[in-house]
A and B are shown apart, each in its own frame.
Chain A
Amino acid sequence: MLQMNNVSKVYQTEMVQTHALRDFNLHVNEGEFIAVTGPSGSGKTTFLNIAGMLEPFNEGEYLLDGVDVGRLNDNQRADLRNQKIGFIFQGFNLIPDLNLYENIEVPLRYRGIKANERKRRIEQCLEQVGLASRAKHIPQQLSGGQQQRVAIARALAGEPRFLLADEPTGNLDSLMARQVMELLEQINRDGATIVMVTHDSELARRAPRNIQVVDGQLADFTLYQGAQTIKTASGV
């Protein structure tokens, strides 16, 4: 489903070069649910942005569902994002001036789906996240958990095979976080591949596969723990 080979990303300013990702290698199979953890500044968000084609990378190769992303132009990347990827953001990123129905409709319109089909999917997704009765509400009128469920509904409406979640429970209390997590697990069981960035280790543990990003590279969980041990032992 997702294949990254030696992907590197460098942020260049006048003064410094920051290697956000260094020879990053990852293979994600269809139907997996992966939690990506790592300390802040480790490159988690950069990984997520590159995986979601939100920003370009400098070196290496990235294949999404067999498509070489590095060779696509801006429009092709936008279309591929629209068709294959569902995004769930930490801040929900709902459009405040649109009601729930219209929010979920946004990616469907970009795909050029006909109005009656849009309606069918939106109603189905709202039903799935338990907010069917609130289609005409605007995001402000909902709680954080409800807003995130709308965002999930928006990600699901396009029937993506790949869901990218960036700290999906980061802005939620534990009860709501659990509900959202359960929803994601349900979506995964229904067949979608999910990559979830989080720094909540408890949440990460619920995912069948955990990976860690440290200093822009993929680190084995145990290796990472070992590194921490060494650092602690040396008194750093």
Chain B
Amino acid sequence: MLEIKPIFNALCRSKVGAVLLLIQIAITTAIVSNAAFIIQDRISYLNQETGYPEQDIFKFNVMTFGTDINLSQQFELDESMLRKMPGVVDAALSSSIPLSGSGSASSFNLKPAPQEGLSVRTAYFFIDDHAINTYGVNLIAGRNFTEDEVLVTNEITQKRTNVTIVTKALLDELYPDGDGLEKIVYFGDLPLKIIGVIGNMKGPWLKDSKPDNLAFIPYIKAASYAQVAVRTKPGQRAAVMKEIENAMLENYSKRVINNIKGLDELKNEYTAQDRLMMRMLIVLITILVLITALGIFGLTLFNISKRTKQIGTRRALGARKSAIVSYFLVENALICSLGLALGVVTAILLGKMLMQYFSVAALPPSYIAVTAIAVFLMSLLAVLAPAKRAANISPSIATRTI
């Protein structure tokens, strides 16, 4: 038997505690639903498919101080040495390293500068014909660069590169009708023919609004500072990383090999802040939910000690123990429902604010619904133990003076 009406009326007559709890439940619902969404968003961001076998790829930096060599030739020697190392699948000089947080970006245009036309921002790597194999990415259409198409130089030259391989995301943005392969795009005023398409491959910045736009341009500008990417056979990366410095110095010693890092490590460094934020949010909502649960628990205990005589009287007047338990459950459910109603509205408003000021994606209603249900269940759980305690109050309390 549920006494909703008299419980509601009684609540209206002594509402301070109830209103405070109601506000607490509303705040909890609003914050938890938004935080849960942000956490979920971060998790899918951190776990997103990058297109690379991150565990098998590493990079290192080469800083050459020796001036007694031809850098271009030296790099060609280095590359062929690296590719022959046991455990190595492929290696390539790469102007930027994916997922690392540093790289170059520019615009690809449908018309040569300075003409106006569709312009799409994209990250690009200057890299050679070993790029696809070194990064272990998937060519879904077209072809790879040929060796002849790669321009290797450390001098200013009239020879220019004229092809590019792009990601499908970039291609689709440039040519939404899907007919971009073999078309020309302009890198400044340099015309590049799109000869190959890669399915999925992230650029240097996961947080970028266009993390999937990336282009390979077959051009190696030999310089005293260079980055090299290496892919090893599964499970052999650590061993290769250990040997890499000696192997490179053996080839030529007047240089420094440093910053030897796995692609997964680079990604972790880049996303460290996101992971920290996610953990803090998890701690925050756990604390918040615990405080709310304790609040409900405490308020119910307080109500019970305040109403000991009343509970005894109710028992004397014929209330079964179950009626006392249900009294507190219904009372809590009423407060909680009102709190949740307010919480849902607050959650939507908070979500809109976060969207407006922090460019968080729109809060899906399912998050609010799941949070509301969870808060409701938690509140029932929190109230159950004190309510059972109340039910055990002896009816003989009614005749005693307290």
Contact = CB atoms under 8 A, between A and B. Distances in A.
Contacts of B3: 109
A82 interface: yes
B394 A54 contact: yes
Interface in B257-314: 309-310, 313-314
Nearest to B317: A107
B399 A49 contact: yes
Interface in A48-67: 48-49, 52-55
A110 B323 contact: yes
Contacts of B317: 81-82, 87, 106-107, 110, 154
Looking at chain B's contact residues, the main secondary structure is helix
B399 to A, nearest CB: 5
A82 B321 CA distance: 13
A53 B314 CA distance: 13
B10 to A, nearest CB: 4
Contacts of A187: none
Contacts of A109: 1, 3, 6
A225 interface: no
B400 to A, nearest CB: 8
A110 B3 CA distance: 9
B10 A87 contact: no
Given A98-B6, A102-B9, A55 B396 contact: yes
Interface size for chain B: under 10, 10 to 19, 20 to 34, or 35 or more residues? 20 to 34
A109 B319 CA distance: 9
B183 interface: no
Interface residues of A, number: 36
Contacts of B14: 97
Given A81-B318, A138-B13, A154-B317, A91 B6 contact: no
B258 to A, nearest CB: 74
Contact of B318 (A48, A79, A93, A96): A79
A182 to B, nearest CB: 23
Contacts of A90: 399, 401
Interface in A64-109: 74-75, 78-79, 81-83, 87, 89-91, 93, 95-99, 102, 105-107, 109
A45 interface: yes
A111 B317 CA distance: 10
Interface of B: 1, 3, 6, 9-11, 13-14, 309-310, 313-323, 394-396, 398-401
Given A81-B318, A87-B398, 10 more contacts: A45-B399, A54-B315, A75-B320, A81-B317, A81-B395, A91-B309, A97-B10, A110-B317, A110-B318, A112-B1
Interface of A: 45, 48-49, 52-55, 74-75, 78-79, 81-83, 87, 89-91, 93, 95-99, 102, 105-107, 109-112, 138, 154, 158, 166
21 contacts: A49-B399, A54-B315, A54-B395, A55-B394, A78-B320, A78-B395, A79-B318, A87-B316, A87-B398, A89-B313, A91-B309, A91-B401, A93-B310, A95-B310, A95-B313, A97-B14, A98-B9, A106-B6, A106-B317, A109-B1, A109-B3
